[in-house]
Amino acid sequence: MAAAAAIALSQNRLNRSRQLVLVTFTRSAAANLKHQIRRHLRDLNQPLGGFIVHTLHGLALNIASRHPQLSGLRLDQITLVSPSRRHELIRRCVDQWVIDHRPLYQLLMEQGSFDGEETERLRRQSVLRTDVLPALAEIAVREAKSSGLSPQALYAVAQDIRDDLPVVAIASGLYERYQDLLQAQQRIDYDDMILAALRVLNDPQAKAFWHQQVFAVFEDEAQDSTPLQTQLLEILSETPNGLNLVRVGDPNQAINSTFTPADPIFFREFCRHNPQHTMDQAGRSAPIIMEAANHMLRWVNESGLAGTELPFTEQAIHPVPLDDPQPNANPEPEGQGLEIVRPNDVYKTVDLLGQRVIELFIQGSDRNAAVLVRENKQGRFIAELLSDPERYGLSCDLAAHEIEVFDVGSRDRRSHIPAEMLTLLKFLARPHSPAYLKAALTLFLDRQLIPAQEINRLASRPEQFLYPGPLEPAQAETVRQARNLCAKLLRARWELPHYQLISFSALALHYDPAELATADKLSSRLFSLTEGAATMATTLPALQELVSTERFEPVEVEETSESGKTREETNPYLKKGRLTIITMHKAKGLDWDYVFLPFLHERVIPGELWVPETSKFLGGFTLAEVARAQIRALVHGQPIPDIDQAWQQASDLKIAEEFRLLYVAMTRAKRLLWMSAAQKAPFIWHTFDWQRQDSLQVLPPCPVIKPLQEALTNDSMQQLPQL
């Protein structure tokens, strides 16, 4: 796309008054695209102007802010809602909905067998108000608003749905409360930017102004766009002769649709109705790695594992021609290029992975490697085992070979420290609040400080949990461990000076050195903000503001990059001689010489939609996923499914996307793709506590492992038929 943009700029003599607009999904991708275009323009001896690169929301805000009367957005009067503030809005909209819709709330409370017993009533109340309804509100707002549906339009549709549980009606009520709160606080969210820009472009004069400014629109990662975003680009690129619009995307890499309103079906429809050119050549990977990806793609489509969903577009990747100008295109594989191992358990998996990394880097440290995991908990497990091989019985020692392990998730966790401290201080300020107690217990579980247990039941009766009387039943050992940690923190609140609370809490959470340094920095910042008069009453608002505005940077230990270096030298994820641990989602758009994919079990990929035990009184489904499927059917112009059908559709969509995620992960490798599925693994990674030596279970591998292994064993990988 960068080369095409440079050619268009040089041929059409564009300038600031008439520009080529390029749009991509993230800010980092936008910065990278801008850098590449300028490099091509320098090679062509052309001026470095005439174009502008935006994210979709950045472009929308630019349009809306130029016409405040039309858009209704006045930047001096409104504020973009932060993720933290959005969570607070969602919580408040749930509280208001419960007050305004007692009959519907009571209907939810009494689902299943319910005899009105007080403890169960409190437990259900906690689950509904802190888990079920916030998740439903989040999805309802995101899916409906990004599709241009108002709360009133959603409610009108809900009247025609005949289900025992009126999921869409509840969703529309939550959506309406969210919008009311947003407007009352003079805030906007990202969807408001798109809607505001569309209001501007619906005005003939404003649209004519922008048509004079814009020569054409190029969009990258188009498979991740929503219908409203596509509509914005189409209006912006209109000309008397049609659309001056180039959209580049790969539906087979659509991996955001389960947590954003994007859906590959929209880009597929766009391609069907417009002239298209297929780009099916790639120079990144060794041929055997591309063959493995092609084989997986075809096998998954034929398997029917995703039900009515077809996960992939029938398209194979091919090597580039021998005379392709890119350096080292389709490199020679390392060894076989594809290695599939089945160790005894996940501990042995990490040991074999570490041994293979050492072997590869002994051959030469001028290459890079990455471990791609499905979730951050797996990354923490690998990083901890590799950092302390003797404790966990590993035979590999990367530190002894001066191989650096860079856990991307650990840096992300440091950025969450202000929010974690806010969670603890809120609990210490109001320990009898069920919501604050549950948030603290959830934090302890996430950091493996207490054993896995049912925290909704504990949080529903704070006094009985924290201060059990002599007539109360004896608490289980797991409950006592949780209570002891809470009691230690509460005791510290009264015995320590207030300014030491954050440092003490950081130690109680077993922070690593970088996290402790970040916590100390946070404590100093709060002391400054409260002008030395630190009390709970002054600290909580100051910390809430820091979290809401995201104006606090963690202490970083990474070296800074110098200008003029290659992408591998400037991007810390791609540093040579380093093993990077990163999630599959974050790895999209990146590549490494050696890629390791551990823990490929059926429960991980494709996995299944999970109904928490605590909310099963509602039925064998989650309200959020049912609402998502029903709203999407409405947006696609399809019949709205009932609850059971919606749950099945949501399950099919998840399975399809998980296989696409695996496809993305496999195609990050250049020279070696190492895949593993241990015989024994945690049943649920989220609750797995390796420090307490939680037991492992025999689990089946990801379904694609067997066909890939058979093709590799039969030495037929290179002869796999092309699609």
Domain boundary among 235, 253, 272: 272
Residues in contact with 344: Cβ distance below 8 Å, sequence separation at least 6, in sequence order = 678, 679, 680
More confident residue, 33 or 168: 168
Burial 343-376 (b: 16+ CB within 10 A, else e): bebbbbbbbbbbebbbebbeeeeebbbbbbbbeb
pLDDT for 567 equals 53
pLDDT for 234 equals 93
- Say if residue 537's pLDDT is above 60: yes
Helices (H), 147-189: 151-158, 167-184
pLDDT for 667 equals 96
697 and 623 inside one domain:
yes
Helices (H), 304-403: 346-363, 376-387
| 600: three-class secondary structure by DSSP | coil
Report, as an integer, the average pLDDT of 336-362: 95
**Assigned domain for 566 exists:** no
**Assigned domain for 215 exists:** yes
Distance of alpha carbon 673 from its chain centroid, rounded?
A: 24
**Assigned domain for 166 exists:** yes
583 and 705 inside one domain:
yes
Residues in contact with 97: Cβ distance below 8 Å, sequence separation at least 6, in sequence order = 105, 133, 137, 170, 173, 174, 177
35 and 114 inside one domain:
no
- Say if residue 262's pLDDT is above 80: no
**Assigned domain for 311 exists:** no
* C-alpha atoms less than 13 angstroms from C-alpha of 200 in its C-beta half-sphere: 28
93 and 155 inside one domain:
yes
Which one-letter amino acid corresponds to residue 693? Q
- Sign (positive/negative) of CA torsion 380, 386, 391, 394? positive
Q: What is the pLDDT of residues 650-659, one digit of tens each?
A: 999 999 999 9
- Sign (positive/negative) of CA torsion 467, 470, 472, 478? positive
pLDDT band (50, 70, 90) for residue 553: low
Residues in the chain: 723
pLDDT for 394 equals 93
Angstrom distance (rounded) from CA 238 to CA 216: 8
Ramachandran assignment for 250, one of left (phi > 0), alpha (psi -120 to 50 degrees), beta (any other): beta
Identify any residues that bridge with 672 across adjacent strands, giving them in sequence order: 594
| Total number of domains in the chain | 4
Distances from the Cα of 482 to the Cαs of 429, 452, 453, 544, 693, in angstroms?
18, 10, 9, 26, 18
Identify any residues that bridge with 52 across adjacent strands, giving them in sequence order: 21
φ and ψ at residue 333, rounded to 5 degrees: -70, 155
Distances from the Cα of 66 to the Cαs of 21, 49, 54, 257, 522, in angstroms?
16, 21, 15, 31, 38
Q: What is the pLDDT of residues 479-527, one digit of tens each?
A: 999 999 999 999 999 988 888 889 899 999 988 887 888 888 888 888 8
More confident residue, 563 or 205: 205
Domain boundary among 158, 185, 212: 185
Query: 705-710: long-range contacts (C-beta < 8 A, 24 or more apart)?
Result: 705/340, 705/600, 705/675, 705/677, 707/295, 707/296, 707/299, 708/292, 708/295, 708/296, 708/338, 708/340, 708/675, 709/340
Neighbours of 158 (CB within 10 A): 20
Residues in contact with 540: Cβ distance below 8 Å, sequence separation at least 6, in sequence order = 422, 425, 426, 429
Distance of alpha carbon 141 from its chain centroid, rounded?
A: 17
Q: Which two tokens stand for residue 107?
A: 């209907």
E strand intervals along 573-649:
578-583, 592-597
Report, as an integer, the average pLDDT of 373-381: 94
44 and 67 inside one domain:
yes
Q: Which domain holds residue 200?
A: 2-73+192-272
Q: What is the pLDDT of residues 408-467, one digit of tens each?
A: 887 766 678 888 999 999 999 999 999 899 999 999 988 889 988 888 888 888 999 999
Q: What is the pLDDT of residues 291-332, one digit of tens each?
A: 999 999 999 999 999 998 899 998 899 999 988 888 888 999
197 and 68 inside one domain:
yes
Residues in contact with 683: Cβ distance below 8 Å, sequence separation at least 6, in sequence order = 603, 697, 699
Tokens 């209001």: give the residue: 199
**Assigned domain for 331 exists:** no
The helix (H) or strand (E) run that includes residue 678 is: none
Stretch among 72-76, 147-151, 452-456, 652-656 having the lowest mean pLDDT: 72-76
Report, as an integer, the average pLDDT of 214-233: 90
**Assigned domain for 306 exists:** no
- Sign (positive/negative) of CA torsion 547, 551, 555, 557? positive
Identify which of 72-76, 83-87, 392-396 has the greatest average pLDDT: 392-396
Ramachandran assignment for 13, one of left (phi > 0), alpha (psi -120 to 50 degrees), beta (any other): left
Domain boundary among 185, 217, 247: 185
| 218: three-class secondary structure by DSSP | strand
Distances from the Cα of 491 to the Cαs of 205, 496, 497, 505, 703, in angstroms?
66, 8, 12, 12, 51
435 and 396 inside one domain:
no
Q: Report the DSSP pairing between strands 238-239 and 242-243.
A: antiparallel
**Assigned domain for 51 exists:** yes
Stretch among 2-6, 69-73, 569-573 having the lowest mean pLDDT: 569-573
ω into 606 cis (within 30 of 0) = yes
712 and 595 inside one domain:
yes
Report, as an integer, the average pLDDT of 382-398: 93
H and E: helices and strands count for the chain: 31, 16
φ and ψ at residue 136, rounded to 5 degrees: -65, -45
Helices (H), 474-612: 477-495, 501-508, 513-529, 536-549, 567-570, 584-587
pTM for the model: 0.85
Give, as one character, the DSSP assignment of residue 573: G
**Assigned domain for 12 exists:** yes
* C-alpha atoms less than 13 angstroms from C-alpha of 102 in its C-beta half-sphere: 1
pLDDT band (50, 70, 90) for residue 541: confident
Count Cβ atoms within 10 A of the Cβ of residue 88 and give its class: 0-12 exposed, 13-18 middle, 19 or more buried: middle
Cβ proximity of 583 and 605 under 8 Å: no
206 and 264 inside one domain:
yes
pLDDT for 466 equals 92
586 and 709 inside one domain:
yes
197 and 174 inside one domain:
no
Which CATH number belongs to the domain containing residue 596 in this structure? Answer: 3.40.50.300
pLDDT for 551 equals 59
Q: What is the pLDDT of residues 602-626, one digit of tens each?
A: 999 999 998 888 889 999 999 999 9
378 and 396 inside one domain:
yes
φ and ψ at residue 719, rounded to 5 degrees: -105, 15
- Say if residue 716's pLDDT is above 60: no
Angstrom distance (rounded) from CA 652 to CA 264: 14
> Could you tell me what percent of the chain has a pLDDT over 90?
50
Cβ proximity of 586 and 407 under 8 Å: no
Stretch among 484-493, 526-535, 547-556, 714-723 having the lowest mean pLDDT: 714-723
Question: What mean pLDDT, rounded, does the chain reach?
Answer: 88
